[in-house]
Structure 1
Amino acid sequence: MNSLNDVNSEAVLRFGPYAFHLGQRLVLEGDRPLRLGGRALDVLQVLVEHAGSVVSKEALIAQVWPRSVVEEINLRVHIAALRRALGDGQNGQCYIVNIPQRGYSFVAPVQHSPQPACFPSETVQKRLHNLPARLTPITGRDAIVGSLVRQLPVRRFMTLVGPGGIGKTTVALRVAELLLQHYRHGVWLVDLAAIDDPAQVTDYLTRTLELKVGTTLEALSQRHALLVLDNCEHLLERCTTLIETLLHTMPRLSILATSREPLKAAGETVSRLPPLAVPPVSALRSVAEVMGYSAVQLFVSRARARQQGFALREQDLKVVREICRRLDGLPLAIELAAAQIDALALVGVQAQLGNCFELLSQGRRTAVPRHQTLKAALDWSYERLTPLEQTVLQRLAVFKMAFTQDAAIAVISCDRLPVANLIKVLESLASKSLLSMEQGGGVTRYRFLNTTRTYALEKLELSGEMRAFEMRYAGYVSQTRWPSSGQVALQLVE
């Protein structure tokens, strides 16, 4: 929900022991952030900004869920969560009351401060950060953003992991925005994609932090700050060493890293970023139901930005679901596809899915190169693989469904690729978010994202090996469907 027009988005709304920082969408009790989800914050903002007045249930629902049909029970759930978080009713303090037949009212006195508040121990608080301005709202990430905001100040070192295009940087920046008021000495983004030489990492960090020439990191030992180390995957060893040193010498420092694979540093907590939610076939009953899924919300939002008057109709539901499914719920891919809506219309976008890299080649000029197109995001990962990893990724692309380790060995292992090496590479590709792993029935299965498989198939065709490995795959499938032993070998699953 966007900030309402009548209140400065940088204002702080104070009530009881709480301070609601509108710009950061953060509620602090002293210097402790409250655990509130995105919708609960939206409800609270509407009520607090209309403190002393009754806001009808219909008006609340219309402002908090402007594009969805929502039952009143959803509103009651968030009201109850707010009351619990605020300790409503404890020690005689009352914040939110239900006015029968009319709605809800925020009854506690509210003070409006035009500028963000200082921390209790400081008389002057200068906001220190280098975060870029966010130009668009974030879709479908409330849960993981809230989890990171709550955990990061306690755990100190967390790594957000996922494949290219899934939105790691977007989520990390949102978390950093929400924690601006928590860290007294600043929140700093360090984009490591800008350098390739591990020897430059420390110097690049000191320049980003705007330290004077000759200043060592030890001089920051008492700083209460957050570092967002973005795109660590190509500098893993150096990043691991640096992070362990920083955490040891700076006991009040927190670090949020993003990477396509875990850093495996001491004290690391890994949080894997899932794709946006794609509606199942069973949800195609109404526009309102389909709009409850974040992949569709993002597609519609970006389509409206490109084509004035775009509206999702019931006859479009199957097409939009197919677009989001084929694009794996990847935010970057969905945004780039929606950007073609004015030129191709929905059916044109769907028709181009078989050639998704042509469809997704019209990138965002203002984005960094690796985020301008989906192919650029995959190139960034592929070019950092070893030659053996590149070869295995290409050959595995002949699998049209999830596959087991044994299936991979049967189809692509050879004298130049012994079994022991193949197993290690499979684990490495999964760690680097180029394959996903699924556990079921005591068996580990690997699966490609559709977009990654399409990319790897193109590489396999260029290598001249596609025909040979397609034949090996076909022979394996034939054997496993009708095994000579009479026992069905379930190596491939839908």
Structure 2
Amino acid sequence: MNAVESAASGFDTVVQRSVIEVGNIQIDLDGRTLRRRGETIPVGSRAFDILVVLARANGRLVSKDQLMREVWPHTFVEENNIQVHLSCLRKLLGDERGLIVTVPGRGYQLSRRRHEPQGEGTGGRRNEAVVRMAGACAPIGREDALTAIGDLLTGTRVLTLVGEGGVGKSTLATEAARRFTAHSGEPAYIISLAGLLDRADVLNAIARQCDRGASAGSMDIASFDIASFVERLKPTRALLVFDNAEHVIALVAELVDALATCTEHVRVLVTSREPLRIMSERTFRVSPLDVPEPHASRTETISFASVQLFESRAYAIQAHLDKSDAQLRCIGDICRRLDGNPLAIELAAARLTALSLDDIHQRLDDPMIMLVGGYRTALPRHCSMQASFDWSYGLLDTEQQTLYRRISAFDDAFTLEEMCAAVCDGQLTVGRAVDAASALVAKSLLNVKFDGAFACYWLTNTARAYARGLCRHDGLVKERSLMVA
């Protein structure tokens, strides 16, 4: 095996024949021995296997279920087995214990930042945002999307990942940023905008995170504004990732437009439920995962990423699945009824801790009640589908909210003419309904498909269920009676 240096940004991992070296640690695969600064360290078999899996990941994150799958391939074990062995490994590594990083709720990685000479425009600092970021493992079923995003980033200055809540925009952006850094050697700075509500908070968060990308000195956050921020970043080569931008979209659009106009080497990647709508922007719509057809064969069903994601989440919580033909059909139908939305699929699978697969399947008629229990470390709006739609609905104006509730009466796809005939009245005119429908499409709540000169619209099953829940909650029976049966 030839020596191969890790492509992952910020990691010193070198593979030389059968020895993996990370910092002062040498892992001899043939002899199954661990050495620190040349001194052999006695280590248990399972702990050594865990270390090998982490080292071979070349600094990328290894999820808990992946680690259990590779270290205990044919055995069900308690999750705390991992913690026990990792604790032992850290103790053995002594002052090198920091090489093993735990990312809460995500997994583990073997990492160490390189000590590199100062480079132009980076102030000599490593890209800590990407080094430490969670989600460094490529998400299931997203390789084609990541390739397309990588190609777009090469050829454009501003790229926005657009899609419905829970579809995986942030996960894709994080992995795309890691790959960009690994390929280009330029840093990437991830600015999470979730929870920031006013202009001052947003600008201050951006200033704090991007200060390391300035050519020299540090920014005066108290007097920070867009013009001064852009001026300081002019000599910088970097990728800025603005994550979760939909609730401050106007401010982010203003900032990104200034960056695209006044800098030469700064690229911007945005995640949002709607586009920025600026001249320099290109958009990439993040689609749900593909789902199997109702009569797909066993082999076809298990090949779909949505089914693989469900099984992966079930495996992570050690839920028992016998993978019979009947169970696979049930899983396929669950994924199909959830429209391939990754968050919805993960939330459904998480219910296997207390419910059977059939119980989950039968109760999906009310997904807002069923789809709860996300990761503790997730954003609040990613802990349930109800919270995810609450967030999107709260960003709509009154007319958009009215149209969204009214079109929930359609069980299937509908045309613009059918929509207007069913929902328009003295309160919602045709012109306003058309404008509201366009906004719902832009905000990823309403889907559209074009067939030549014709367009048809539809709501996902979960989006429709949420809107109908609003109608029930508000007692809008009269409004619902206006709809097409």
Please report the TM-score for the alignment, with normalisation by the length of structure 1: 0.70
Distance in 1 between residues matched to 2:209 and 2:189, nearest whole Å: 8
1:159–1:270 CA contact under 8 A, matched in 2: yes
Structure-1 residue corresponding to 2:351:
340
The answer to whether the aligner puts 1:234 opposite 2:247 as a matched pair is yes
Listed as ranges, the matches of 1:392-407 within 5 Å are 392-407=403-418
Task: Give the distance between the partners of 1:370 and 1:452, measured in 2 at CA.
Answer: 15
- Equivalent pairs counted in the alignment come to 376
Residue 130 (structure 1) shift: 1.6
Query: 1:182 deviation in Å?
Result: 4.3
Q: Structure 1: which amino acid aligns with 2:128?
A: H
Shift of 1:136: 6.5
Counterparts of 1:159 and 1:446, CA distance in 2: 23
> Letter of the aligned partner of 1:379 in structure 2?
D
- Aligned residue number for residue 328 of structure 1: 339
Unmatched segments (≥5 aa) in structure 2: 1-5, 17-21, 23-52, 57-69, 75-111, 213-217, 222-227
Matching residue of 1:390: 401
Pick the aligned partner of 1:473 from 456, 459, 484: 484
Indicate yes or no: 2:257 matched with 1:244.
yes
> What is the deviation of 1:120?
12
Q: What's 2:235 paired with? A: 222
Q: Alpha-carbon deviation of 1:448?
A: 0.1
The whole-number CA distance in structure 2 between the counterparts of 1:332 and 1:214 is 39
Equivalent-residue separation in structure 2 for 1:190 and 1:124 (angstroms): 19
Contact conserved, 1:118 with 1:124, CA < 8 A, in 2?
Answer: no
Matches within 5 A, 1:110-125: none
Partner secondary structure for residue 344 of structure 1:
coil
Distance 1:125 1:311, change over 3 A: farther
Residue aligned with 1:130, SS: helix
Cα drift, residue 116 of structure 1: 6.3
1:414 to 425, 444, 454: 425
Which amino acid letter does the alignment assign opposite residue 220 of structure 2? G
**1:274-289 correspondence runs (5 A):** 274-283=287-296, 285-286=297-298, 288-289=299-300
Corresponding residue for residue 352 of structure 1: 363
Q: Deviations over 1:338-383 (max 9, x none)?
A: 0011311210110110111111122321111111111111111101
Residue of structure 2 equivalent to 1:157: 158
**Does 2:451 match 1:440?**
yes
Within 1, Cα distance between the matches of 2:285 and 2:372?
27
Counterpart residue number, 1:172: 173
Aligned-residue identity in percent: 33
Distance 1:442 1:247, change over 3 A: closer
Q: Which of 465-474 and 393-402 deviates more?
A: 465-474
Residue 319 of structure 2 contacts residue 353 of structure 2 at CA under 8 Å; is this kept in 1? no
Alpha-carbon distance between aligned partners in 1 of 2:374 and 2:477, rounded to the nearest angstrom: 29
For 1:116 and 1:151, the matched residues in 2 are separated by 28
Task: Name the aligned partner's letter for residue 264 of structure 1.
Answer: R
Map of 1:76-115 to 2, 5 A cutoff?
none
Any idea what SS the aligned residue of 1:408 has? helix
Instruction: Please give the per-residue CA displacement for 1:171-221, whole angstroms capped at 9, x wherever unaligned.
Output: 101101112234555211111122111344322210122463427421221
Alignment partner of 2:304 out of 293, 316, 327: 293
Q: CA–CA distance in 1 between the matches of 2:380 and 2:444?
A: 20
Matched, 1:449 2:450: no
How far did residue 118 of structure 1 move?
Answer: 6.5
Aligned in 2, Cα 1:313/1:423: closer, same or farther, shift over 3 Å? same
1:134 and 1:372 map into 2 onto residues whose CA distance is 17
* Aligned equivalent of 1:486: none
Unaligned runs of 5+ in 1: 1-6, 16-21, 23-45, 50-62, 68-113, 475-494
Please state whether the residue corresponding to 1:437 is helix, strand or coil: strand
Going from structure 1 to structure 2, the CA distance change for 1:200 and 1:116 (only over 3 Å counts) comes to: closer
Aligned partner of 1:53 in structure 2 is none
Take 2:332 and 2:461, find their aligned partners in 1: how far apart are those partners? 15
The 2-side partners of 1:205 and 1:8 are apart by: 27
Separation of aligned partners in 1, 2:250 and 2:123:
39
Give the CA deviation at 1:468.
4.3
Structure 2 CA distance for partners of 1:117 and 1:376, relative to 1, 3 Å: same
Find the counterpart in structure 1 of residue 129 from structure 2: 130
Return the letter of the residue paired with 1:297.
Q
Relative distance call for 1:137 and 1:346 in structure 2 (3 A) is farther
The residue matched to 1:340 in structure 2 has which SS? helix
Q: What is the rounded CA distance, in whole Å, between the counterparts of 1:354 and 1:136 in structure 2?
A: 33
TM norm structure 2: 0.71
CA distance in 2, matches of 1:472, 1:201: 41
Q: Tell me which residue corresponds to 1:458.
A: 469
Q: Which amino acid aligns with 2:439?
A: S
Cα drift, residue 239 of structure 1: 1.1
Q: Which amino acid aligns with 1:230?
A: D
- Counterpart AA for 1:219: R
Contact (CA 8 Å) 1:183, 1:225: kept in 2 or not?
A: no
SS in 2 for 1:262: coil
Letter in 2 for 1:258: T
> What's the CA shift string for 1:26-84, capped at 9, x where partnerless?
xxxxxxxxxxxxxxxxxxxx9xx9xxxxxxxxxxxxx9xx99xxxxxxxxxxxxxxxxx
Return the letter of the residue paired with 1:214.
D
Partner Cα distance (1:334, 1:308) in 2: 15
Residue 369 (structure 1) aligns with: 380
Q: Secondary structure at the match of 1:354?
A: coil
Q: CA deviation at 1:469?
A: 2.3
- Matches of 1:366 and 1:200 in 2, distance apart? 22
* Corresponding residue for residue 144 of structure 1: 145
Residue 135 (structure 1) shift: 7.7
1:125 positional shift: 6.9
For 2:148 and 2:186, locate their aligned partners in 1 and report how far apart those are by CA, in whole Å: 22
Deviates more, 1:402-411 or 1:438-447: 438-447
The alignment's C-alpha RMSD in Å is 3.1
Does structure 2 retain, via aligned residues, the 8 Å contact 1:159–1:262?
A: yes
3-state SS in 2 of match to 1:298: helix
For 1:281, what is the secondary structure of its paired residue? Answer: coil
Q: Distance in 2 between matches of 1:443 and 1:253?
A: 39
8 Å contact 2:290–2:305 — kept in the other structure?
A: yes
What is the CA-CA distance between 1:302 and the residue it aligns to? 0.3
> Compared with structure 1, are the counterparts of its residues 198 and 466 closer, same or farther at alpha carbon in structure 2 (3 Å cutoff)?
farther
Tell me, yes or no, if the aligned pair for 1:12 and 1:115 is still in contact at 8 Å.
no
* Aligned-partner Cα distance in 1 for 2:277–2:370: 36
Distance in 2 (alpha carbons) for counterparts of 1:229 and 1:400: 36
Specify the alignment match of 1:270 in structure 2. 283
Separation in 2 of the partners of 1:246 and 1:387?
A: 33
- Contact 2:294/2:333 (8 A) holds in 1: no
Q: Structure 1 308/390 Cα, relative in aligned 2: closer, same or farther at 3 Å?
A: closer
Rounded Cα–Cα distance in structure 2 between residues aligned with 1:423 and 1:289: 40
Q: Which digits, 9 at most, give the CA deviation of each residue in 1:302-335, with x for residues without a partner?
A: 0111125534221212211110011110000000
Q: Which residue of 2 aligns with 1:318?
A: 329
Residues 233, 260 of structure 1: 8 Å contact kept: yes
Shift, 1:388, TM fit: 1.2
